[in-house]
Amino acid sequence: MTKGHSLHLEDHSAHDCAVADMQMLLEATGVGTWSYDSATHALQLDRVCREMFDLADDDVLDMDNMRKRIHPDDVDHYWQAVTESMRTGNLSINYRIVRKDGTVRFISGRARTAGTADGTGLQIRGVCIDISDRRELEQRLRSTESRMQDLADSIPGLFSFIDRDYRVVFMSSMYREIFERSHDELLGQHMAELVGEEEFRDRKPRYDAALAGETLLYDANRRLPDGTELFYRVSHQPYRDEKGAIKGVMSLALDITERKRAEQALQHKSEELARSNHDLEQFAYIASHDLKAPLRAIEALGQWLQEDLKDYTDGEVQTNLGLLRQRTQRLNRLLDDLMEYSRAGRRVGSRREVNTREMVQDIATLLAPPPSMRVEAGPTLPTFDTHHAPLEQVLRNLINNAIKHHPTQRGHVRVSAVDQGKSLLFAVQDDGEGIPEDYAEKVFQMFQTLQPRDEREGSGMGLAIVQRIIDWQGGRVWFHAGPGGVGTVFKFVWQKNPDLPGEEIFTETEEDVDVPGTDETRQHSAG
């Protein structure tokens, strides 16, 4: 054997080895190879391709059998690609095949073609890869993205994710309405292109803080293209990959427009209330000074006339002068009560420890009822921390009301309480003549009295003041008939901490207070 021939054999052997190695590498990576010669109609498939197309070793390899494996919906598409490859020399196509058991697999094919344009001398060499798992993964990914989009779109606000270059990776669909762009038009856009350079400069420090690892929460307003102003609670949070590296910023803007508008309306109402309270304060000042000054002068004149005419007995001069003094004294008390009403629930003083049993005893001493009228401070009356002045005024008015309206000089007024945890339920019970049903809705109104003022002195403001204080305090006041329909029981709920909203506890059952008897008679409430 000549040296040249030996080299030729060695080159041929090396080539065969390289081809074999390449074939093994392709098979190991799941890539099948195939070839077709139109002149001889020879179709060759390697082991990977046979397994991929579910072909046994004894199955006839021809183009008709291969065509039967292609999914019916992809046949035309496949042959159009083959025809095009005769012109371009390249074949690139994704298609489906149907295996013998009916399962469908996704195939990606790549090939090089050579030969005549009529196909008589066509030779094709190519590879095919089963991409079913990848397609399934892509479908799952698309399904996951769709669910994420649905979830983001269900949030009453805006959700977005931008990368470190401030470009949009994801946005909820509401952004499409705001920016008037499609989903695809939003993706990849720089935030400056969407919101404008000035707005982006305002946002950028917050984005940068989140990209540095900080979580931000703040309120912001946005004005839509149609001029509508919306309010949002915005959060920026860094997004990290599995290694902890920050890859972008997740932003969530919850729509708080309704809450903001409610707060604005409440602020407006508060301002109106402040103005109303100021007007009431001015009225109280006028009542205290401008009205009471001439009233005192009239009262003094009446007293002087009564003294000057004390020996004059004709007619009803002395009676009328007595009525004059009585009326002026009543008007004076009315002005004092109006002053108290205007202050009720606003000038509360400081909080301190209050022994309500001692408070009731002190009130009884101050009111000085007839010796035969007994005011009892029940043993359940508690000691607790509260605003002393308003509670004392409520109890004083209720006790005084019971004493003043008792039909006899002999009576019993009992004050008791039950601790309800966050509140106290007080009861002021008397054994008087009770309150007629016709007055059930009137007793807490201003200037309402059960009897004519000529028969019993009073301004009709006492229970109105009680109602106003209880309203401020966050409780409730009501009354019902006493045991057996005798007398009246006034009850009120007193919050231990009125500065904490939503803690009102209101119970109308007789068992709440240690008052004997049952509520078989009607119950009325006010407030």
Tally the C-alpha atoms within 13 A of residue 330's C-alpha that lie toward its C-beta: 16
Residues 239, 251: contact at Cβ < 8 Å? no
Q: CATH code for 137-255?
A: 3.30.450.20
Q: What percent of the chain has pLDDT over 70?
A: 72
Q: How confident is the model at residue 155 (pLDDT cuts 50, 70, 90)?
A: low
Residues 73, 98: contact at Cβ < 8 Å? no
Coil, helix or strand at residue 405? coil
Q: How confident is the model at residue 56 (pLDDT cuts 50, 70, 90)?
A: confident
Query: Which DSSP category does 289 fall into?
Result: I
Q: For residues 54 and 70, what is the distance between their CA atoms, to the nearest angstrom?
A: 12
Amino acid identity of residue 402, one-letter, is A
Topology, domain 350-526? Heat Shock Protein 90 (3.30.565)
pLDDT given at position 301:
81
pLDDT tens column, 357-371: 999 998 888 888 888
Tell me how far apart the terminal alpha carbons of the chain are, to the nearest angstrom.
122
Query: Which DSSP category does 312 fall into?
Result: -
Higher pLDDT: 50 or 224? It is 50
Q: Is residue 512's pLDDT more than 50?
A: no
pLDDT given at position 292:
67
| Contacts for 391 with CB less than 8 Å, ≥ 6 apart | 354, 356, 359, 494
Q: Is residue 501's pLDDT more than 50?
A: no
Q: Is residue 513's pLDDT more than 50?
A: no
Q: Would you say the CATH fold of 137-255 matches that of 22-130? A: yes
User: In the structure encoding, which two tokens stand for residue 414, read together?
Assistant: 């009992």
pLDDT given at position 381:
95
Query: Which DSSP category does 290 fall into?
Result: I
**Please, what is the average pLDDT of the chain?**
77
pLDDT given at position 29:
64
Coil, helix or strand at residue 212? coil
Q: Is residue 146's pLDDT more than 70?
A: no
34 sits in which H/E element? strand 31-37
pLDDT tens column, 282-340: 776 666 666 667 777 787 887 888 777 877 777 777 777 777 777 777 677 666 666 66
Residues 36, 45: contact at Cβ < 8 Å? no
Q: Is residue 73's pLDDT more than 80?
A: yes
pLDDT given at position 493:
93
Q: Is residue 34's pLDDT more than 90?
A: no
Q: How many of the other CB atoms lie within 10 Å of CB of 45? A: 20
204 sits in which H/E element? helix 197-211
pLDDT given at position 380:
92
285 sits in which H/E element? helix 257-286
pLDDT tens column, 257-281: 888 888 888 888 888 887 877 777 6
pLDDT given at position 447:
45
User: In the structure encoding, which two tokens stand for residue 283, read together?
Assistant: 């009225």
Higher pLDDT: 141 or 123? It is 123
- Among the ranges given (141-150, 240-249, 391-400, 414-423), the one the predictor scored with the smallest mean pLDDT: 141-150
Higher pLDDT: 439 or 403? It is 403
pLDDT given at position 126:
86
Q: CATH code for 22-130?
A: 3.30.450.20
184: phi then psi, degrees, rounded to nearest 5: -65, -30
Q: For residues 275 and 452, what is the distance between their CA atoms, to the nearest angstrom?
A: 35
pLDDT given at position 516:
39
User: In the structure encoding, which two tokens stand for residue 52, read together?
Assistant: 């991929």
Look up tokens 């006028």; give the residue.
286
Work out the average pLDDT over 174-190. Answer: 81
Q: How confident is the model at residue 446 (pLDDT cuts 50, 70, 90)?
A: very low
Cα-based distances in Å from 295 to 206, 285, 304, 324: 68, 15, 14, 11
Q: For residues 390 and 340, what is the distance between their CA atoms, to the nearest angstrom?
A: 11
Amino acid identity of residue 19, one-letter, is V
List the chain domain ranges: 22-130, 137-255, 261-328, 350-526
pLDDT given at position 225:
66
Give me the count of residues in the chain: 527
* Range list of H helices, 120-254: 132-154, 174-179, 183-186, 191-195, 197-211
Residues 364, 375: contact at Cβ < 8 Å? yes
Amino acid identity of residue 469, one-letter, is I
Q: How confident is the model at residue 526 (pLDDT cuts 50, 70, 90)?
A: very low
325 sits in which H/E element? helix 317-343
**Which strand ranges, in their side-by-side order, compose the sheet holding 423-430?**
373-377, 411-419, 423-430, 488-495, 476-481, 523-526
Look up tokens 């409520």; give the residue.
394
Residues 34, 128: contact at Cβ < 8 Å? yes
Q: For residues 99 and 396, what is the distance between their CA atoms, to the nearest angstrom?
A: 96
Cα-based distances in Å from 350 to 347, 354, 390, 425: 9, 11, 10, 22
pLDDT tens column, 101-120: 888 888 888 888 876 655 56
| Contacts for 93 with CB less than 8 Å, ≥ 6 apart | 77, 78, 81, 108, 109
Q: How confident is the model at residue 524 (pLDDT cuts 50, 70, 90)?
A: very low
Q: Is residue 234's pLDDT more than 60?
A: yes
Work out the average pLDDT over 424-448. Answer: 77
- Among the ranges given (70-79, 97-106, 113-122), the one the predictor scored with the smallest mean pLDDT: 113-122
Q: What residues does 235 pair with on adjacent strands?
A: 217, 252
∠ CA 481-477-466, nearest 5°, is: 110
pLDDT given at position 519:
41
Q: How confident is the model at residue 505 (pLDDT cuts 50, 70, 90)?
A: very low
